[in-house]
Structure 1
Amino acid sequence: MVEACNLVTVHRTTGVINVPRIIRIRSHSPSTETVYVRLLLGQTPKMWEEAADALAVALQAERVGVERVRPQVIALVVQRSEPFTEPIIPPDLLADSEAVDLSRVYLGETEHGTDWVAPLLGQHWLVGGASGSGKNSVTWMALRACAPLIRDGLVRLHVVNPKGTELNALQPVSHRYAETDGDIVEVIQGFWATMQDRKRTLAEQGRRTFVMSRETPLDVLVLDELGAVTGYGDRSLTKGAQAVLPLILSQARALGGTVVGALQEPTKDVIPQRDLFSLRVCLRATSAGHVDMVLGEDMRRRGALADEIPNVPESAGIGFVVKQRSRTPVRVRAAYCDDSDIAELVRVAGWPVSELAATGQR
């Protein structure tokens, strides 16, 4: 197999073929396994990354990802079939704010059968994906974790909803909420003003780090369609947003500000500050180039084949994230929040709601 993929070396005098050695194989599920390989002298992980498609064919697999484990050792993540065949049910919503851990927010599952968790406090999230890919599943899971904190005044939502559809269910529990261009600019600029006030407060108190409290709550800016705000929206909207968004993304994390942005068409014009988002998720994409625009350079070559996820309802919420240490793509699926889950979020947040405004669109 490796010889057919040009991953062997031949001794120049004896003609002996040197073959990379398999160290161990770990099976995570019937659909996914990890093969640990010791590289030959002169080989690099990049050579294996470039041969990933050929390896997938040779192994009769749907996808092969390459992870750098340590010097001279790589791991091949072999996906033989779709690991996510059923929707993932969200866990019970916590009622006690003291039980919430914003350093480990549950979002769904990984292809290895483990929980997909991510920190929200002190982070910015970017979720990219085509229409119907399930982008707001990630947003809803983050907000469900925050529900008791919103009720207790420890978290405040600043919601920008230019589409005016699914996220309008958040209006009753939002500190600020906007759908129209003028209101959107006001909310984003107001969020930045809050961060500036927070900076002065921390300085006056002699505090170097943010601590979430009722006096200094975590402020979360939710941007349902980042492209409409920064790229292809009305000029007055994009100009007003672009004036402060780079400042928010570069400074708010240390001041108790978090941005959760969803994006449909990732381009350089739309996400010029991509690297300021600490968590980046790419769900089903319509172009191979969109994958690297969201996740980072060479992520598709290393196995994040988000553009090959089928465009069917059963694939909503499936995508890729990048491991922080190894910089390796991991296939994930976000839990699906239906109307009752969203209504529970609003109810637990402690605000009156007479009618669920969510449309159920993903």
Structure 2
Amino acid sequence: MALSQVRADAPLRVSPQPVRVAVWAVVLAWLARRLWRLLVLIARCPAALLGLSVVVVGIVAWQVLGLALLLGILGTVLLVLLGWRLRWPDGFHRGVSGPVRGWLRGGWVYRRRWTTAMDTAGLTVTRNGTTYVPPLLRARSTSSVDRVTVRMIPGQTLEDYAAVSDRLAQTFGTTDCRTRSVPSKPHLVELWLLVCDPLTALVNPFPADRAGLDAGLPVARAEDGSTWRLRIVGNHILIVGATGAGKGSVLWSIVTGLTPSIANGVVKVWAVDPKGGMELAPGRHLFDRFAHGDSTDQAGYEAGFADILEDAVGVMRSRQDRLRGITRLHTPSTDEPLIVVIVDELAALTGWVADRTAKKRIESALGLLLSQGRAVGVVVIGAVQDPRKDVLPMRDLFPTRIALRLNEAEQVALVLGPGARNRGARCDLIPDSLPGVGYVTVEGIAEPVRVRFSHITDNTITTLGQPARVPALTVVKGGAAA
């Protein structure tokens, strides 16, 4: 065959002589293979290794200490775990319940049917008679999401798994499945399988966090049950959603998170409400400047909007002169606070302005702020219903984008970028009964994150930043004032 340079793909049929093996040798080999697989499974799972260690230590302690003392130690351990669970539930979940749940679901739900699931989803590869199955590396669980890490077969991409996410969710009996990349590990993919949806319930406002400017404002709850934080410093934010999708929840969640910094003078909010102040007026006591339009203004209804944006550009220019060669990112302080320009309806400033002069002033100021403002501490947060380019030409200048419920599937790509819907951001399928639920993409991270923003009532807005009321003194008959 080597001389003729001919290669035959058909396998050569060989009839070997039968070899007789004792039954005990076959059974022993089968037990050895099963034992080896069990050891590998235990070694790969820290929770299983810890559980086995606890059993071994318990048996040894029983022999050395006796049953009564062992039961006392176990009772103490259980009390400590119970106190940990009640006092620090997040830490208990990370250290105990999460790993144990991940080990149990990883073995019973995923590993048990993994090969069949990969085959029926079309993720296996057969070559020269050999079938290659993507190996499942580990499974971690939260109260609502199972995070399954998989090593992709050479030649596969993240889009291959995203295309069959519905099949994987149905196979494993979960609500939804999303694919996420693993940082610095391009050969791995992480499947987020939603076991239950924690975003169906309203999210209460988060407590004031004075470190919000550094760590990000706590404004929403992610679908894995964790608190999602939004970075404000050095960031422009675009909020897109249909009527009733909850854009107000996003804006007021941000303002609520900024309240401690506003009180300290580190942040100043300049609010622009083209709808006559109907949305932002309840929080006008928090705003350093508030432009809501004036129908009696001889200069035009939109003139005030142009004035406030051009003043923001003036602040930006002066800071550029002072910070040139000193730093590349402004640090908020009481001397130079962070200027947050909030615009409730951007389309009213960019697409629906009848006055050409005002429209030109507004578009010029917005373009300058979005392209140069975030480095010097002048950031823009804008909300809009229609994300098309002819309505919002500077859409691509927002690093962080939030897409709530949208009217069309094509709008998802306009807001979050191409491929976002294939990776699970089905904004057009968010029901009307879930206002404030949406998907967020952050610059540098391709995968959208599903969150629900906190529900802020009008009463909460009017009391933001107000000191707590001291009960009035009343005269009690027969006693002192109380």
The interval holding the TM-score normalised by the smaller chain is: 0.7 to 0.9
2:238 to 123, 126, 132: 126
1:39 to 135, 152, 175: 152
| Structure 2 match to 1:338 | 457
Q: Contact 2:266–2:337 (CA<8 Å) still a contact in 1?
A: yes
> Which has the higher mean CA deviation after the structures are superposed, 17-26 or 47-56?
47-56
CA spacing shift, 1:208–1:304, aligned 2, 3 Å = closer
- Per the TM alignment, residue 5 of structure 1 is displaced from its structure 2 partner at its CA by 2.3
1:256-335 superposed matches below 5 A: 256-312=377-433, 315-322=434-441, 326-335=445-454
Q: Contact 1:281–1:320 (CA<8 Å) still a contact in 2?
A: yes
SS in 2 for 1:301: coil
- Per the TM alignment, residue 62 of structure 1 is displaced from its structure 2 partner at its CA by 3.6
1:1-362 superposed matches below 5 A: 1-11=117-127, 13-14=128-129, 16-29=130-143, 31-69=144-182, 70-93=185-208, 99-103=210-214, 104-163=216-275, 164-180=277-293, 181-203=302-324, 209-236=329-356, 237-312=358-433, 315-322=434-441, 326-347=445-466
Aligned-partner residue type, residue 179 of structure 2: V
Q: What are structure 2's unaligned runs of at least 5 residues? A: 1-116, 294-301, 469-482
> Which has the higher mean CA deviation after the structures are superposed, 300-309 or 263-272?
263-272
Aligned-partner residue type, residue 67 of structure 1: R
> Which has the higher mean CA deviation after the structures are superposed, 49-58 or 188-197?
49-58
Aligned-partner residue type, residue 190 of structure 2: A
Q: Contact 2:350–2:362 (CA<8 Å) still a contact in 1?
A: yes
SS in 2 for 1:194: helix
Q: Which has the bigger relative contact order, CA under 8 A and spacing at least 6?
A: 1
| Structure 1 match to 2:98 | none
Q: Contact 1:67–1:326 (CA<8 Å) still a contact in 2?
A: no
CA distance in structure 2 between the aligned counterparts of 1:253 and 1:113, rounded to whole angstroms: 30
CA distance in structure 2 between the aligned counterparts of 1:287 and 1:302, rounded to whole angstroms: 17
SS in 2 for 1:123: coil
CA spacing shift, 1:54–1:243, aligned 2, 3 Å = same
**Greater than 4 Å deviation, 4+ residue runs:** 205-209, 323-326
Q: Contact 1:170–1:346 (CA<8 Å) still a contact in 2?
A: no
Q: Contact 1:151–1:348 (CA<8 Å) still a contact in 2?
A: no
CA distance in structure 2 between the aligned counterparts of 1:35 and 1:209, rounded to whole angstroms: 37
Q: What are structure 1's unaligned runs of at least 5 residues? A: 350-362
Aligned-partner residue type, residue 351 of structure 2: G
CA distance in structure 2 between the aligned counterparts of 1:127 and 1:43, rounded to whole angstroms: 34
Which structure has more strand as a fraction of its residues?
Answer: 1
- Per the TM alignment, residue 208 of structure 1 is displaced from its structure 2 partner at its CA by 5.5
CA distance in structure 2 between the aligned counterparts of 1:183 and 1:162, rounded to whole angstroms: 10
Q: Contact 2:219–2:257 (CA<8 Å) still a contact in 1?
A: no
| Structure 2 match to 1:360 | none
CA distance in structure 2 between the aligned counterparts of 1:346 and 1:22, rounded to whole angstroms: 50
CA distance in structure 1 between the aligned counterparts of 2:422 and 2:352, rounded to whole angstroms: 29
- Per the TM alignment, residue 60 of structure 1 is displaced from its structure 2 partner at its CA by 4.2
SS in 1 for 2:212: coil
CA distance in structure 2 between the aligned counterparts of 1:251 and 1:263, rounded to whole angstroms: 21
Which structure has more helix as a fraction of its residues?
Answer: 2
Q: Contact 2:263–2:465 (CA<8 Å) still a contact in 1?
A: no
CA spacing shift, 1:309–1:209, aligned 2, 3 Å = closer
CA distance in structure 1 between the aligned counterparts of 2:365 and 2:442, rounded to whole angstroms: 29
Compute the TM-score of the two structures, normalised by the length of structure 2.
0.66
CA spacing shift, 1:240–1:58, aligned 2, 3 Å = farther
CA distance in structure 1 between the aligned counterparts of 2:251 and 2:462, rounded to whole angstroms: 15
CA spacing shift, 1:140–1:258, aligned 2, 3 Å = same
CA distance in structure 2 between the aligned counterparts of 1:224 and 1:110, rounded to whole angstroms: 24
Q: Contact 1:24–1:36 (CA<8 Å) still a contact in 2?
A: yes
CA distance in structure 2 between the aligned counterparts of 1:252 and 1:38, rounded to whole angstroms: 42
CA distance in structure 2 between the aligned counterparts of 1:66 and 1:119, rounded to whole angstroms: 24
CA distance in structure 2 between the aligned counterparts of 1:328 and 1:335, rounded to whole angstroms: 22
CA distance in structure 2 between the aligned counterparts of 1:348 and 1:140, rounded to whole angstroms: 19
Identity %: 33
CA root-mean-square deviation? 2.3
SS in 1 for 2:260: helix
- Per the TM alignment, residue 117 of structure 1 is displaced from its structure 2 partner at its CA by 0.5
Q: Contact 2:341–2:379 (CA<8 Å) still a contact in 1?
A: yes
Q: Contact 1:122–1:253 (CA<8 Å) still a contact in 2?
A: yes
| Structure 2 match to 1:352 | none
CA distance in structure 2 between the aligned counterparts of 1:305 and 1:191, rounded to whole angstroms: 36
Point out the structure with max Rg over C-alpha.
Answer: 2
